[in-house]
Amino acid sequence: MDSQSDKHMIKRTLQSFGFVLLSLLPVLAQANQVNQVNLNINLATPVMEAGQSHRAFIKVSLEGFKQQDKQARIPANVAIVLDKSGSMGGDKIKYAREAAIMAIKRLDERDIVSVVSYDSRVQVVVPATEVHNQRAIYDAIRHIRADGNTALFAGVSKGANELRKFLSRNKVNRVILLSDGLANVGPQSASELGELGASLAKEGISVTTIGLGLGYNEDLMTRLAGYSDGNHAFVENAEDLASVFQYEFGDVLSVVAQGVNIEIRCRNGVKPIRLLGRESEIIGNRVTTRLNQLYSEQEKFVILEVEVPQQQAETELELVAVEVHYDNLITQNEEQLSGQSIARFSGSKQEVRAARDDKALEAAVEQVANEYSRDAIEARDSGDLEGAKQILKDSASYLGSQAESLNSPRLQKQEEEALQDADAMELDQNWNKQRKELKARQYKRATQQAY
């Protein structure tokens, strides 16, 4: 074969190879998108009235991608920490044992489990181990008996120590704490437990707290969960523990991203006022917050309230730039997302109204009302019963007007809830239970907890 023929053959081969590569590009791009977190930035009022300043809500939301293969899920590294103080006697400890065993049955040899019990002292019932011999794990749990006081801080710390034996950024690292009583051995304030949660979050460990009955400290439990980005549940009756554990393990087994850091920078004279939904840091024009985990096909969001300077009609203004960094547990890469929010200004009220993003505004209204609910608890705790009731009635009025404007059944339901909460505050003997219900509901709304 002459050199000219060789050249033609090589050319045809390269062209064919190039065609194959080009045809594969959409498939590769689609595969990349399938395993990528979705970032959405929605301005509740994308068109604003010109000639005046505005308060505006920006919804920054992240949606976990779908797990394509349920069998290829991320391994879990779970420490179950059970309160076995004297108040847990009888049915409580029995249902707690059964719930823990039932949940562990969802794990397999890919996963790590440890079990810690605590009263006045802490005991490692099952040291961190791969889930091979399930029968031995169940037998150890069944031998837990209730007695003594409540060394809650030490119990969580010991659970975290067990997690550290197999700690990995490619595992879901979670402490699941169950308690029915007040911490009365060792550190016992909400702030101290919050600090523990924050320090564990830096290691990639989250703490889910389950409060059983009416004797636990809901401030402590929500603070510990919140600062570590775990879940929180109020369980009045011990027989409901099994369903709560099932939901919790469902979350654990559906995590697709971890170490999610969100940075929002305000632009062009826009000033951040507050971030609704999560703890955050605001320094100048920069707002930062984080999520420890993101679940498959679940949306998590924050609402940023900003002050927007007045602009002339027919102008556009970039309000914020958003950057997100996270660890993708499927690709095992650190990945980045970015976006921005731009507002347009108009002299037409009709155009402003027509452009409104009702879903983003509805989410913002829910979070603002959640802040009202928090303020009501503070007022009630300080002895101002009438003030607390008025705050909830103001919240209901706000929700009602927005529900009508947005034609929102969700906000209408929340309005009815606020009025019921205001009426229920009349009875002192019910306040302990109501406070726990309020705190649990506030937490779930703020963090978009699924259960």
CA pair distance 396, 400, nearest whole angstrom: 6
Q: Please spell the DSSP secondary structure of 14-83, one letter per residue.
A: HHHHHHHHHHHHHHHHHHHHHTS-EEEEEES-SEEETTS-EEEEEEEEEEBPP-S-GGGPPPEEEEEEEE
State the average pLDDT over residues 251-262: 94
CA pair distance 104, 341, nearest whole angstrom: 44
pTM here is 0.88
pLDDT in tens, 35-68: 899 999 999 999 999 999 999 999 999 999 987 7
pLDDT in tens, 356-389: 999 999 999 999 999 999 999 999 999 999 999 9
Contact 313, 352 (CB under 8 A): no
pLDDT in tens, 129-144: 999 989 999 999 999 9
Whole-number percent of the chain with pLDDT over 70 = 91
Mean pLDDT score across all residues of the chain: 90
β-bridge mates for residue 64, sequence order: 296
Contact 205, 258 (CB under 8 A): no
Contact 154, 85 (CB under 8 A): no
Token digits for 156?
């969580």
pLDDT over threshold 80, residue 159? yes
Residue type, 113: V
pLDDT in tens, 283-320: 999 999 999 999 999 999 999 999 999 999 999 999 99
CA pair distance 330, 332, nearest whole angstrom: 5
CA pair distance 113, 108, nearest whole angstrom: 10
Angle at 25 between CA 19 and CA 30, to 5 degrees: 150
Whole-number percent of the chain with pLDDT over 90 = 81
List b or e across 312-345, with b for residues whose CB sees 16 or more CB atoms inside 10 angstroms: eeeeebebbebbbebbbbbeeeeeebeeebebbb
β-bridge mates for residue 126, sequence order: 115
3-state DSSP call for residue 355?
coil
